[in-house]
């Protein structure tokens, strides 16, 4: 049996001369966590089940519901308590697709590759039509297409020039790139830009609704846009509308650049182009439905009413299997909880895990959870603000803090792909940095070394951060996240590596355990409005 010891760690390099109190770390427990994480891992079983048995998990799709069920059940099996799904409003309808086929019939016969945008209708069988190019950049552009679209298949834009790959697909940090992250860029004022962007956002939303209604009314068969990336990768999100009662438009697909450009160039040459399209896609609800986060916990002991959280979004886009984005994060967070149970952790604070939904459409699940449990800003009255997902709105009026606001310690999130942890973004919480340095020390040998002041954005820790609660994400090796897999049909099992996920799970388990055990809650940075 391993001797239990509490080692008082000195501060990390960055804080060598700092007066911050030394941070105690239970190295015996860290050792147990490492053993369980590295030698008895189940993280790949979880990752495989989510990606390959359940598959992609679009918010409110039947697959997402299966993921809620399966993960809740797993939490129960592992001895977590209060495993439940927690509903949130404001999402819309479920949608799924089974197949999508596009064939070119003219100017020559061949198979083309395209996949549907989420929340666009299927074709209800095979349709064939002539292809024409349309360019609709503003409402007034609709007029010129009136009466001209019936039975047509629409190309939404020109050919795009191929962008040659001059950097390696896959990237891992080295000492130099990590050092580069230590620099903090003082933000420019964005106020003017923000107003402009808001206006443009509202206009785009209005234009989209008008186009959807127009194309359906005019009887166009389908619309095709170019994939966001080259090299045969289909990078695509949503189209149509997920909101019941809004026009969903016509079947819309994103096509690989190499095929789309052929069509566009043929039209430029005035060659007739004819396609056959069959998209088997459907809305799975008639009316808007609540989304669901799956939540479970390990109850604390002496400080059971105080909360340490960890989480990751379980929803994904629909064309890959939502592997790096974000079965990886879910599998790691679940594994961290399993490890803590397996090593017999008895935390002082309650450790709660949340598997969010609706992240891809604007952090909807986590924002709703934080609003319900911890704090929220009043509903905006400005219509431009109301049109935004709540997580993206400007704070309006004083923050309304709920009872658990003061009971909350910290939230850790994972949503930067499946790459190895190399440290943590302190999100400008300077007081948290020496704590993180101490917690990372036992993982320096597996490559996690850096605590940086920088903010990292755009995922569920922001739902906490924006109401003044400590919420963090880890620095990760990028791998091929932004070259191959992010929101693409290649976001699949193969692009992840087991060793990276095992390392991440060990670090998360250790971090949340440390957070649950330390004397004080995690220090907070001041709310900007205070």
Encoded one letter per residue, x for contact with a copy of itself by CB under 8 A and - for no contact, window 241-260 reads ----------------xx--
Binding segment for a copy of itself (CB under 8 A), chosen from 96-104, 327-335, 410-418, 421-429, is 96-104
Q: Given the complex with a copy of itself, which of 2 and 109 has the nearer CB atom?
A: 109
Q: Could you tell me the smallest distance in angstroms from the CB atom of residue 108 to a copy of itself?
A: 5
Q: Interaction with a copy of itself in 52-71: which residues (CB under 8 A)? A: 52-55, 63
Q: Given the complex with a copy of itself, which of 278 and 450 has the nearer CB atom?
A: 278
Binding segment for a copy of itself (CB under 8 A), chosen from 168-176, 246-254, 389-397, 426-434, is 168-176
Would you count residue 215 as binding a copy of itself (CB under 8 A)? no
Q: Given the complex with a copy of itself, which of 122 and 365 has the nearer CB atom?
A: 122
Cα gap 268→191, rounded to integer Å: 42
What does the block give as tokens for 509? 């388990």
Would you count residue 100 as binding a copy of itself (CB under 8 A)? yes
Binding segment for a copy of itself (CB under 8 A), chosen from 136-144, 167-175, 286-294, 298-306, is 167-175
Would you count residue 166 as binding a copy of itself (CB under 8 A)? yes
Q: The tokens 């080259």 sit on which residue?
A: 230
Which listed residue (265, 282, 386, 400) binds a copy of itself by CB under 8 A? 265
Q: Interaction with a copy of itself in 31-50: which residues (CB under 8 A)? A: 48
Cα gap 374→466, rounded to integer Å: 12
What does the block give as tokens for 348? 């002082």
Would you count residue 240 as binding a copy of itself (CB under 8 A)? no
Q: How many CA atoms lie within 13 A of 21 on its CB side?
A: 7
Would you count residue 110 as binding a copy of itself (CB under 8 A)? yes
Q: The tokens 């809305």 sit on which residue?
A: 283
Q: The tokens 């785009």 sit on which residue?
A: 204
Cα gap 96→99, rounded to integer Å: 10
Cα gap 90→391, rounded to integer Å: 12
* DSSP assignments along 363-423, one per residue: SHHHHHHHHHHTEEPPPP-SHHHHTS-GGGSPP-SS-EE-GGGTTEEEEEE--S-SPPEEE
Q: What angle do CA 307, 475, 471 make, to 5 degrees?
A: 25
List of residues 6+ apart from 207 with CB closer than 8 A: 136, 138, 139
Q: Is 354 helix (H, G, I), strand (E, B) or coil?
A: strand
Q: What angle do CA 493, 499, 500 make, to 5 degrees?
A: 75
Q: Could you tell me the smallest distance in angstroms from the CB atom of residue 468 to a copy of itself?
A: 40
**HEC-encoded secondary structure of 248-266:** CCCCEEEECHHHHHHHHHH
List of residues 6+ apart from 38 with CB closer than 8 A: 502, 503, 506
Q: At what angle do helices 27-39 and 498-517 cross, to 10 degrees?
A: 150
Binding segment for a copy of itself (CB under 8 A), chosen from 68-76, 86-94, 163-171, 291-299, is 163-171
Which listed residue (8, 17, 138, 167) binds a copy of itself by CB under 8 A? 167
Nearest to 7 by CA among 26, 30, 21, 32: 26
Q: Could you tell me the smallest distance in angstroms from the CB atom of residue 69 to a copy of itself?
A: 15
Would you count residue 101 as binding a copy of itself (CB under 8 A)? yes
Q: Could you tell me the smallest distance in angstroms from the CB atom of residue 443 to a copy of itself?
A: 23
Q: How many residues does the chain have?
A: 530
Would you count residue 176 as binding a copy of itself (CB under 8 A)? no
Would you count residue 98 as binding a copy of itself (CB under 8 A)? yes
Would you count residue 109 as binding a copy of itself (CB under 8 A)? yes
In this structure, are residues 75 and 352 in contact, taking their beta carbons and an 8 Å threshold? no
Would you count residue 272 as binding a copy of itself (CB under 8 A)? no
Q: Interaction with a copy of itself in 468-507: which residues (CB under 8 A)? A: 479-480, 483-484, 489-490, 492-495
Binding segment for a copy of itself (CB under 8 A), chosen from 266-274, 286-294, 441-449, 466-474, is 266-274
Q: Could you tell me the smallest distance in angstroms from the CB atom of residue 166 to a copy of itself?
A: 5
Which listed residue (15, 75, 91, 113) binds a copy of itself by CB under 8 A? 113
Would you count residue 232 as binding a copy of itself (CB under 8 A)? yes
In this structure, are residues 324 and 495 in contact, taking their beta carbons and an 8 Å threshold? yes
* DSSP assignments along 514-526, one per residue: HHHHSSSPPP-PP
For residue 381, report the phi and psi dihedrals to the nearest 5 degrees. Answer: -100, -25
Q: Could you tell me the smallest distance in angstroms from the CB atom of residue 144 to a copy of itself?
A: 28
Would you count residue 184 as binding a copy of itself (CB under 8 A)? no
Q: Tell me, by CB under 8 A, how many residues bind a copy of itself.
A: 52
Binding segment for a copy of itself (CB under 8 A), chosen from 173-181, 210-218, 227-235, 431-439, is 227-235
Q: What is the largest CA-CA distance in the chain?
A: 81
Would you count residue 396 as binding a copy of itself (CB under 8 A)? no
Cα gap 222→251, rounded to integer Å: 5
For residue 421, report the phi and psi dihedrals to the nearest 5 degrees. Answer: -75, 135
Q: Could you tell me the smallest distance in angstroms from the CB atom of residue 115 to a copy of itself?
A: 7
Encoded one letter per residue, x for contact with a copy of itself by CB under 8 A and - for no contact, window 307-326 reads -------------xx-----
Binding segment for a copy of itself (CB under 8 A), chosen from 166-174, 212-220, 370-378, 522-530, is 166-174
Q: Is 298 helix (H, G, I), strand (E, B) or coil?
A: strand
Footprint of a copy of itself on this chain (CB under 8 A)?
Answer: 48, 52-55, 63, 97-101, 103, 107-111, 113, 115, 161-162, 164-170, 230-233, 257-258, 261-262, 265-266, 269, 271, 320-321, 479-480, 483-484, 489-490, 492-495
């Amino acid at each position: 049996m391993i001797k239990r010891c509490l080692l008082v760690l000195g501060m990390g390099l960055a804080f060598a001369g700092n007066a911050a109190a030394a941070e105690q770390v239970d190295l015996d427990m860290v050792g147990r966590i490492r053993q369980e994480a590295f030698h008895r891992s189940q993280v790949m079983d979880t990752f495989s089940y989510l990606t390959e048995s359940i598959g992609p998990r679009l918010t409110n799709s039947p697959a997402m519901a299966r993921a809620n069920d399966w993960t809740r059940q797993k939490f129960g099996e592992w001895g977590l308590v209060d495993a439940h799904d927690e509903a949130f409003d404001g999402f819309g309808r479920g949608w799924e697709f089974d197949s999508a086929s596009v064939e070119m019939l003219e100017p020559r016969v061949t198979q083309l590759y395209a996949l549907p945008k989420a929340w666009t209708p299927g074709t209800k069988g095979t349709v064939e039509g002539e292809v024409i190019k349309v360019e609709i950049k503003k409402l007034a552009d609709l007029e010129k297409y009136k009466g001209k679209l019936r039975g047509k298949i629409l190309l939404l834009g020109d050919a795009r020039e191929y962008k040659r790959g001059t950097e390696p697909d896959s990237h891992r940090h080295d000492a130099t790139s990590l050092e580069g992250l230590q620099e903090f860029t003082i933000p420019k004022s964005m106020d003017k830009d923000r107003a402009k962007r808001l206006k443009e956002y509202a206009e785009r939303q209005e234009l989209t609704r008008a186009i959807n209604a127009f194309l359906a009314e005019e009887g166009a068969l389908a619309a095709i846009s170019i994939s966001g990336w080259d090299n045969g990768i289909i990078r695509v999100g949503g189209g149509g509308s997920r909101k019941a009662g809004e026009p969903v438009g016509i079947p819309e697909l994103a096509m690989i650049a190499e095929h789309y450009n052929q069509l566009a160039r043929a039209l430029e040459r005035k060659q007739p182009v004819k396609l056959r399209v069959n998209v088997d896609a459907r809305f799975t609800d008639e009316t808007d439905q609540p989304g669901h986060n799956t939540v479970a916990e390990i109850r604390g002991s002496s400080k059971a009413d105080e909360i340490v959280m960890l989480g990751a979004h379980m929803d994904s886009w629909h064309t890959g299997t939502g592997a790096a984005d974000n079965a990886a994060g879910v599998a790691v967070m679940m594994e961290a909880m399993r490890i803590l149970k397996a090593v017999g952790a008895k935390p002082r604070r309650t450790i709660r895990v949340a598997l969010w939904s609706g992240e891809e459409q604007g952090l909807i699940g986590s924002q709703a959870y934080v609003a319900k449990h911890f704090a929220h800003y009043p509903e905006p009255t400005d219509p431009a603000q109301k049109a935004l997902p709540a997580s993206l709105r400007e704070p309006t009026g004083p923050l309304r803090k709920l009872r658990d606001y003061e009971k909350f310690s910290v939230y850790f999130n994972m949503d930067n792909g499946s790459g190895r942890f190399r440290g943590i973004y302190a999100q400008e919480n300077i007081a948290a940095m020496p704590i993180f340095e101490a917690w990372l020390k036992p993982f320096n040998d597996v490559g996690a070394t850096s605590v940086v002041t920088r903010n990292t954005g755009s995922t569920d820790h922001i739902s906490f951060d924006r109401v003044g609660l400590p919420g963090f994400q880890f620095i990760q090796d990028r791998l091929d996240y932004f070259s191959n897999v992010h929101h693409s049909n290649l976001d699949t099992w193969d692009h992840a590596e087991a060793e990276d996920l095992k390392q991440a799970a060990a670090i998360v388990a250790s971090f949340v355990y440390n957070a649950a055990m330390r004397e004080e809650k995690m220090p907070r940075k001041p709310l900007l409005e205070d």
